Amino acid sequence: MINMAVTQEPNYVMNAFFYDLEIIKAIPPRDGKLELGVEYCAGWSDFNGMGISVLGVWDELEGVPHVFLEDNFWDFADLLKSRQYAISFNGIGFDNKVLACKGMEIPRYQNFDLLRELWIADGLDPDSFTPKTHGGFSLEACCNANLTCGKSGNGAMAPVNWQNGLHGDVITYCLRDVMLLRRLVKMAIINNGELRHPKWDRKGSKIRVRIPEGMTLK
């Protein structure tokens, strides 16, 4: 007799999705040297001019990925309405502002922003960015401190690659960031909010982030 039993990994009790987006127009470099043939927005505050190339999502409730491009962008609204949490890394400070310019609003109460929670846990004001204190908490730094793998490229190159027709590379890069975020949040949930501190001068120390009700494992 064939054993048809399927072994399943522990499931989340999470009515949530993880998300990240990439932009179409590149951010001008600090040195002001623009690359010939590359389209740029006006800068980091030009959310309306950035555009969205891809919005990548992992739906935790159904256990499936989603890729939202220009042709199916508004399908994201249906997912947003049907989930309790929208989980991001700097979503409140960046992604949500870009989405809002497209008419897509993510309510603050629905958003769990891991970067914001890390700043709060470190005693920092999440609404007032200061490079000296708030720097060092990037997704890359968090992955290096807590996971065995990190990001696969430089986010600044994503819009350049998109403009050059490397759409598959950009989609893969975006979804990889989504899945890395998921691993970090899962680790925090398992360890009651605890992660290894990402800043190099705090190497080896721990930081404990808030875990909202409902973001738990069975």
State the average pLDDT over residues 68-73.
97
186-213 burial, b if ≥16 CB within 10 A, otherwise e? Answer: bbbbeeebebbbbbeeeeeeebebebee
Dihedral of the alpha carbons of 86, 199, 197, 141, in degrees to the nearest 10: 50
Residue 218: pLDDT band with limits 50, 70, 90: low
For the chain, list the domains and their CATH numbers. 12-113+139-217 (3.30.420.10)
pLDDT at 151: 62
pLDDT at 190: 93
pLDDT at 136: 94
Residues composing the chain: 218
Residue 2: pLDDT band with limits 50, 70, 90: very low
pLDDT at 31: 84
How many other CB atoms sit within 10 Å of the CB of residue 39? 15
pLDDT at 7 over 50: no
Considering only CA atoms, give the Rg of the chain.
Answer: 18
State the average pLDDT over residues 132-138.
94
85-114 pLDDT, tens digit each: 999 999 999 999 999 999 999 999 999 999
Give the mean pLDDT of the chain.
91
136-154 pLDDT, tens digit each: 999 999 999 999 876 666 7
pLDDT at 150: 65
